[in-house]
């Protein structure tokens, strides 16, 4: 049997965009991903669909597996010929015990790579507005384990040398021993008023920072019930936080936003939420696919014959998806846009127009109002009785536009070029987050995302999904989506002024006036 390979990967401190390109490559290659609690779960969405996931997370008071068992697990999986990615929070070489895992792999002759990650020791302070060095304060920094194992063989910390020789001190895993850390540093010469900061869940949505001095920080931590995981920063550089804190100023900082769009469409909204400091949580309750019913396929192909395409006076596209699936089918039939020799092109929305332009087509009609009503208003003076219209849509598209065109005496060929299918993959974690009120905003971009989310939650065991959703803020695009939400008794907190993802994001951030 062919032997496998193990990638020992630093996932970074939490923000999934801080992983290295090489680390992302290892995730995408893996047959098995062995991960812990400090690696962002969003990174797992980049795995192969068939990749196996094994959680070996460690809590301060509980280990899923002992370190020796994790070491052996990596060996066993590789011996079975698997490509294994061991995903570890931060950098695997900074108190990550990667050496122990690599040693056992080497003892068994297993090929491995150590892929560094951005250490929480430098990234977490930076996200809190604290650079670990600054020429006005210090040019030296020490990274110290704050968790002393009673049976370890190396010597205890040289507190005297540490206190006198180093400017900034970063303690990892040290919350439980904070009193001792402060006491020893004061004992060996650090002034009691030396600034200290603790940053909990740094770079994550729930990032929180507590500041004080060596003299009072331990008491502040007790009063605030400030729990691990947290990075401790000791030094004059902590004074810069008040001026340099940048993450907390982002409009969606601390907000976790549920994205219900199909995964193929979600990237723009996910990126905008990220840019605004929020954490996007993807639960794509819709999967878009080509028509599956034989009668629909037959009707589509009949509408796309060469003779029919040459006869259309109008080709009206109402969505980016309609454009994408239309051209896929056209290509599959061995045809291209040249067969629409006399059709005028109209599009609903700027994104639809952009999708057409990417294929070399300029939509000559683009309404100011990005929905069917606006398009009809824009082209009504151009329409003539008897004109033939091709209208590629979804299987659940509104009937407003085709109905109005028919009433005006036009011959409308409406064809389903794609269909919406309920998708419930990767939903278990989202259900738990909804139950625990860990989701702050739920976004809807169409009526189908509303109905599909409610159906998905019901099938996931939620008896009353409406009551569950009433506890969150709701953001949506379009009056029809709002009507659907209201029909379920749900109110809309953020309404996009335009039917665009950018407008939806702006409404949530408060920047859309």
Kindly list the catalytic residues. 36, 58, 173
The tokens for 240 are 């810069």
**Residues 6 or more apart from 345 whose CB is under 8 A from it?**
315, 317, 356, 361, 362, 363, 364, 365
Q: What is the DSSP string of 139-160?
A: S-EEEEES---TT-SSPPP-HH
The tokens for 439 are 């989701």
User: HSE on the CB side for 337, CA within 13 Å?
Assistant: 17
Give residue for tokens 């005006």.
408
User: HSE on the CB side for 164, CA within 13 Å?
Assistant: 7
- Residues 281 and 503: their CA atoms lie apart, in Å, by 19
Give residue for tokens 């691990």.
228
Rounded to the nearest 10 degrees, the angle between the axes of helix 217-224 and helix 178-187 is 170
Alpha helix locations (H) across 333-475?
350-357, 372-379, 400-407, 428-435, 447-459, 465-469
The tokens for 414 are 């409406």
Q: What is the DSSP string of 219-273?
A: HHHHHHT-PSSEEEEESGGGGGHHHH--GGGSTTTT-EEEE-S-TTTTHHHHHHH
CB of 404 closer than 8 Å to CB of 389: no
The tokens for 396 are 């659940």
CB of 250 closer than 8 Å to CB of 214: no
Sheet with strand 314-317: strands edge to edge: 286-289, 411-422, 388-394, 314-317, 344-347
The tokens for 154 are 């190396």
CA nearest neighbour of 476 among 449, 504, 454: 504
CB of 90 closer than 8 Å to CB of 120: yes
Give the length of the chain.
513
């Amino acid at each position: 049997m062919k032997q496998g390979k193990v990638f020992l990967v630093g996932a970074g401190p939490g923000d999934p965009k801080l992983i290295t390109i090489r680390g992302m490559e290892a995730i995408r290659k893996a047959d098995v991903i062995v991960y812990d609690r400090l690696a962002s779960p969003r990174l797992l969405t980049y795995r192969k669909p068939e990749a196996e996931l094994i959680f070996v997370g460690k809590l301060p008071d509980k280990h899923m597996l002992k370190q020796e068992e994790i070491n052996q697990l990596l060996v066993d999986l590789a011996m079975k010929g698997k490509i294994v990615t061991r995903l570890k929070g931060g950098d695997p070489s900074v108190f990550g015990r990667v050496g122990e895992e690599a040693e056992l792999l080497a003892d068994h002759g297993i090929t491995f790579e150590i892929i560094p990650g951005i250490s929480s020791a430098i990234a977490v302070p930076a996200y809190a507005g604290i650079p670990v060095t600054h020429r006005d304060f210090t040019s030296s920094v020490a990274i110290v384990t704050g968790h002393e194992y009673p049976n370890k063989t190396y010597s205890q910390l040289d507190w005297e040398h540490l206190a006198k020789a180093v400017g900034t001190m970063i303690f990892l895993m040290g919350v439980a021993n904070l009193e001792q850390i402060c006491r020893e540093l004061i004992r060996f010469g650090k002034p009691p008023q030396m600034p200290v900061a603790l940053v909990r869940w740094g770079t994550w949505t729930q990032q929180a920072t507590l500041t004080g001095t060596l003299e009072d920080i331990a008491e502040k931590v007790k009063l605030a019930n400030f729990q691990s995981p947290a990075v401790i920063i000791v030094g004059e550089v902590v004074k810069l936080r008040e001026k340099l804190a940048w993450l907390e100023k982002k409009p969606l900082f601390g907000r976790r936003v549920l994205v219900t769009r199909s995964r193929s469409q979600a990237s723009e909204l996910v990126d905008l939420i990220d840019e605004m400091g929020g954490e996007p949580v993807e639960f794509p309750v819709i999967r878009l696919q080509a028509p599956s019913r034989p009668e629909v396929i037959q009707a589509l192909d009949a509408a796309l014959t060469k003779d029919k395409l040459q006869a259309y006076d109008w080709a009206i596209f109402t969505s980016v998806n309609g454009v994408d699936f239309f051209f896929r089918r056209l290509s599959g039939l061995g045809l291209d846009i040249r067969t629409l020799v006399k059709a005028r092109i109209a599009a609903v929305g700027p994104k639809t127009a952009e999708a057409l332009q990417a294929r070399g087509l300029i939509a000559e009609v683009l309404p100011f109002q990005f929905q069917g009503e606006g398009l009809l208003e824009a082209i009504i003076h151009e329409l003539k009785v008897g004109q033939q219209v091709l209208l590629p849509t979804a299987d659940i598209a509104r009937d407003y536009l085709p109905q109005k065109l028919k009433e005006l005496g036009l011959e409308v060929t409406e064809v389903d070029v794609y269909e919406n299918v309920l998708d419930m993959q990767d939903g278990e974690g989202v259900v738990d987050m909804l139950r625990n009120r860990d989701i702050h905003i739920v976004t809807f971009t169409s009526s189908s995302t509303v109905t599909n989310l409610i159906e998905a939650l019901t099938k996931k065991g939620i008896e009353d999904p409406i009551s569950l959703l009433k506890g969150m803020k709701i953001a949506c695009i379009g009056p029809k989506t709002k009507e659907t939400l209201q029909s379920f008794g749900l109110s809309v907190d953020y309404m996009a002024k335009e039917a665009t993802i950018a407008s939806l994001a702006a409404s949530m951030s408060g920047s859309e006036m």
